[in-house]
Amino acid sequence: MGVIRKALTSRPVTTLTSPNTIDDYLEHIHPMLAAANVRARVVAVHRETGEASTVVMRPNGAWKGFVPGQHVQFGVEVEGKRRIRVFSVSSSRAAGRRKGRGRTFSVSVKAHPDGYVSQFLHQELQPGTIVYLSQAEGEFVLPREVPANLLLVSGGSGVTPVMSMLRTLRDTGHRGQVTFLHYARSRDDEMFTGELDEIAATTDFRVVRVYTRQPAPGAELAGRFQVDHLKHLGVDASDTLTYVCGPAGLIATVRDTYDELGAGDQLRLEYFKVPTVDLDAADATGTLSFEDTAIAAPNTGATILEQAELAGLKPDFGCRMGVCNTCAIKKNSGAVRHVVSGEVNANTDETIKICVQVPIGDVAVAL
C-alpha cells in the first residue's frame, strides 16, 4: 500500500489531477480512501464526566502516528459544513502502533458552553462517523530517552496530553521515577478517574490529585499549585524534567516557581487555552484597518480576531489558540504582539495567526 500511496502522490499524478488532488477523486469511491489526507472512522465515544468525552478512532493508512503530548486538527461535517478544532491525543502510543484494523487512537475533549464542535462531540457524535484529521503536530512531547526523574503536572482538561504520556510510560514498562500531579475542581469533574486509580494501585508511579473546590478527605495536598507541593512530593526542580499543561494561571504559577528556583530550563509548557489578553494601554492605541473590506476601528488591545468579529466581520477560525492556521492572514503593515510568547513582530507583508496576535498601534491586515 505504501508503494501505491507514493505513486498516487507523485508529481505526474498531481499534475494530471490539478487543480484538484487525487484524494478529491478517491473520496467518491470510499470516504476513508485517501492517498495523503488523514481520515478516521469513529469506533466509540466514551463519557468521561458530565462534560467530557473520549473519541476512539481508527485512522486510514495515511496516518503516520503520534508522539505522546501531540495534538491533531479534528474536522467534522455538521449540516454540510466542515468545522475544525484542535484536540490533544490522549491514548497510549503503544496502542496506536498496532497494525491494520486494530490500530486506534483517541482524543479526549471537554465540552465548552460556547464550543460548537466540542458540544457536538460530547452530545451527538456517533460510532461510524468519518472525521477529517491532520497528522499529529506539536513539540510538547517526551524525549526519546526519558530521564530518571519526570514530573507531569496538569490542570482541568489539560490532563489529556499528559495522560497520553502517562499511559505510554506505563505500557512501555518505564522504570524511572514518575510523579503525576493533577489539579481538578472535584473528583466528579476529573477525567480518567478510574484509570488513574488503577495506575496508582498497580504501578510504581506516584499519582497525586488535588481537588481544589471539593478536597478529598485526608488528601496529602490541598489548594492550588505552590512550591510547598514540590517539597512535599520530594521533587528537586533543578533535576526533574517537568511537563505542565493546563490553564494560564497554573502555567504562570509553575513557571514563576521554577524561575525562582533557577530551574526554568527543566520546564516544558503547553497552554490548553490561550491566556486572557492583559490589555496594555500602550498597545491599545491607533487604528486597526481591515483593508480588504475597507473597515477601520479604534484598536482596543484585544486580539485581531476578536476585534474583527466586533467589527462585524466573520473571519475563518478553528482552534482560537494559535495552532491550526485556519485564521492565518496577511498583515500588510504595523506591529503585533503574540499573546503567549510576548514576541513583537513588525515585518510588512507577513502571515500571522490573528487569534493570538494583538495589534500595537496602527495595524493593517488583509481581511
Residue spans of beta strands (DSSP E) within the chain: 38-47, 52-59, 71-78, 81-88, 105-110, 130-133, 149-155, 177-184, 206-211, 241-246, 267-271, 287-290, 295-298, 328-338, 344-345, 350-353, 357-365
Q: Which residue in the block uniquely carries the three cell numbers 504520556?
A: 165
Give the residue range(s) of CATH 3.40.50.80 domains in the chain. Answer: 149-271
User: Any idea of the CA torsion for 22, 23, 24, 30, to the nearest 10 degrees?
Assistant: 120
Q: Which residues contact 27 (CB under 8 A, 6 or more apart)?
A: 33, 34
Asked whether residue 183 carries a pLDDT value surpassing 60, the answer given is: yes
- Cis peptide upstream of residue 19 (ω within 30 degrees of 0): yes
- Residue 72's φ and ψ, nearest 5 degrees, are -130, 150
Asked whether residue 63 carries a pLDDT value surpassing 80, the answer given is: yes
- pLDDT (tens digit per residue) in 271-288: 766 555 555 555 678 999
Domain 38-133 has CATH 3.40.50.970: no
Residues in the chain: 367
Nearest to 360 by CA among 349, 182, 342: 342
- pLDDT (tens digit per residue) in 147-170: 999 999 999 999 999 999 999 999
Strand partners, 82: 77
- pTM here is 0.79
Q: Are 71 and 138 in contact (CB under 8 A)?
A: yes
pLDDT number for residue 187? 95
Average pLDDT over residues 2-26: 61
Give the residue range(s) of CATH 3.10.20.30 domains in the chain. Answer: 287-365
How sure is the predictor about 225, in pLDDT bands with cuts at 50, 70 and 90? very high
Q: Which three cell numbers stand for residue 227?
A: 512550591
Average pLDDT over residues 120-135: 92
Average pLDDT over residues 76-90: 84
Quick one: fold of 149-271?
Rossmann fold (3.40.50)
Nearest to 34 by CA among 42, 43, 25: 25
Asked whether residue 128 carries a pLDDT value surpassing 80, the answer given is: yes
pLDDT number for residue 36? 65
Q: What is the assigned CATH class of domain 287-365?
A: alpha beta
Nearest to 88 by CA among 157, 152, 190, 160: 160
pLDDT number for residue 27? 67
- Residue 364's φ and ψ, nearest 5 degrees, are -125, 130
Average pLDDT over residues 312-336: 87
Strands 38-47 and 267-271, by their bridges, are unpaired
Rounded to the nearest integer, the mean pLDDT of the chain is 87
Nearest to 316 by CA among 113, 86, 111, 84: 84
Q: Are 265 and 259 in contact (CB under 8 A)?
A: no
Strands 52-59 and 38-47, by their bridges, are antiparallel
Give the Cα separation of 102 and 94 in Å (integer): 12
The residue ranking higher by pLDDT, 27 or 269, is 269
Task: Measure Cα distances from 226 to 48, 158, 210, 317, 329 in Å.
Answer: 28, 18, 12, 36, 40
Nearest to 290 by CA among 317, 306, 311, 320: 311
Asked whether residue 354 carries a pLDDT value surpassing 70, the answer given is: yes
How sure is the predictor about 228, in pLDDT bands with cuts at 50, 70 and 90? very high
